[in-house]
Amino acid sequence: MNNPPRRIYNSASVPQEECVFCKIVDGRLPSYRVYEDEHHVAFLDINPFSAGHTLVCPKRHGETLWDMDEREIAEVFKVASKVSMGVVYATNADGFRIMQNNGEAANQAVAHIHVHVIPNKLEDKGRFNRMKLSDKEMAEVAESIKAEIAKLA
């Protein structure tokens, strides 16, 4: 693959030491983790589109897909697929979305590569608004997702 012609614009770009997701990866910021392996971490989105909305990101910092090699891209989506099963079972969803944004124009709010796993129910078809869950609700759904992912191992 040739190098991309230019960088993708993102006003959220920060040095790696200041990256919100890097701080979550190394434990400097709290999160509701549902999965972790040597190279990836998955945690609940704090402004979810639905209960169980989970973010899967590599531990290695990179802003967009262009900052990853083909193996890394395949691995993050493999983890997203595994996490999606836990998310769907734990939330009793009827389907799910996989979403990955690159750059501000694509609504990437945190400049660290990540994949959204968003569970959907039929009664919510067409709805795509952010919601706010309590800490208790976040903890409960995170534990449920972790338990379902553990069953897949």
Query: Which residues are catalytically annotated?
Result: 114
3-state class of 6 per DSSP? coil
Residues 53 and 133: their CA atoms lie apart, in Å, by 11
Residues 65 and 98: their CA atoms lie apart, in Å, by 15
Q: Which sign, positive or negative, has the C-alpha torsion 131, 86, 32, 96? A: negative
